[in-house]
Amino acid sequence: MNIIPIFANKQLKKNMSYLLKPKSYKPLLDLKQTELGIKQIKEFFQMNLSSELRLRRVTAPLFVLKGTGINDDLNGIERAVTFPIKDLGDMQAEVVHSLAKWKRVTLADYNIEPGYGIYTDMNAIRADEELGNFHSLYVDQWDWERVITAKDRNINFLKEIVNRIYAAMIRTEYMVYEMYPQIKPCLPNELHYIHAEELRQLYPNMEPKEREHAITEKYKAVFIIGIGCKLSDGKKHDGRAPDYDDYTSPGLNDLPGLNGDLLLWDEVLQRSIELSSMGIRVNKEVLQLQLKQEGEERRLQLYFHKRLMNDTLPFSIGGGIGQSRLCMYYLRKAHIGEIQASIWPEEMRNECKQYNIYLI
């Protein structure tokens, strides 16, 4: 299937947003079947995720107070949507980017024991997102966090947890096949692990995203370790905030990184799709090191960071799993806008219609 990347308009081109348009795309499900499929996938997967990792569901905030250090900084450059709170003297609130740090505080407040954790439905607005087939202004994901011990802070434990999540993905794929036989299972039985540095050496002349496409096309399901650490060329495979994932401690083959991204090969769009970012979280030593590396030591004065430095937060592992992206993958859709309602440029909507992509 040929994929043509086309910029929807000049402004989108400037912002590097683009639309992938598979020439022979035809949805396998109509709107009613799609909505039913979304419902079944979300219910089935979260039940399996909860069982695999021993997680209880909790209610999550849509916004948090600015200046507490609880909101996720993502790559450190994205602007949070903010608004004043009248009854708090116009103090600023931020719509969450994700709940990476909030979950760790919640584990402590709920007194969760090692081996158990929480998950929640996280809804966010990311105004700086580059709109396209995989990216929307609206973000919905399962955010989860589990208490671990100091002995669990190693690469083998990380892989054990990732394998459990992947097992839930395989079971969900088979459920979709039973529901809609025209959607054939294609996930491999095992996930392929590779460090970002090994990936760079494997494809030295490619950019990071191109490497992701190449390795995922080969193995169909890949977990790339070491997101956020500097590689041997002095560059990062991708950015990660320095105060939640541990990307410094030795991981795979003694290369730095106890975190990573889970990618699957999307047959419809002929490229990789990132479905989950996760990792073992920083301890106070790693927090100080990574903040120093990024010149962000001032964050140590924030509420979240003070709690971590005062040993009032547990060791943990956690991540997020994109709900709409997961449904998009299982239902063989070409655009995330076929799964969720959001705002899209009119030019993009018109282009999509020409290729049988009907945005909600």
Of the candidates 72, 73, 152, 243, the residue annotated as catalytic is 72
Q: Are 120 and 141 spatial neighbours (Cβ–Cβ below 8 Å)?
A: no
Residue 274 catalytic?
yes
Of the candidates 197, 212, 261, 338, the residue annotated as catalytic is 261
Residue 217 catalytic?
no
Count the neighbouring beta carbons within 10 Å of the beta carbon of residue 192: 15
Of the candidates 141, 276, 290, 340, the residue annotated as catalytic is 141
Q: At CA 231, angle to CA 157 and CA 166, rounded to 5?
A: 35
How far is Cα 242 from Cα 76, in angstroms, rounded to an integer?
A: 9
Of the candidates 52, 198, 267, 274, the residue annotated as catalytic is 274
How far is Cα 316 from Cα 159, in angstroms, rounded to an integer?
A: 14
- 318: tokens are 């956690």
Of the candidates 40, 94, 104, 126, the residue annotated as catalytic is 126
How far is Cα 278 from Cα 318, in angstroms, rounded to an integer?
A: 6
Give the three-state DSSP class for 293. Answer: helix
Q: How far, in whole angstroms, is CA 327 from its chain's centroid?
A: 14
Residue 121 catalytic?
no
Residue 277 catalytic?
yes
Residue with structure tokens 């709170």? 85
Instruction: List the catalytic residues.
Output: 72, 126, 141, 261, 274, 277
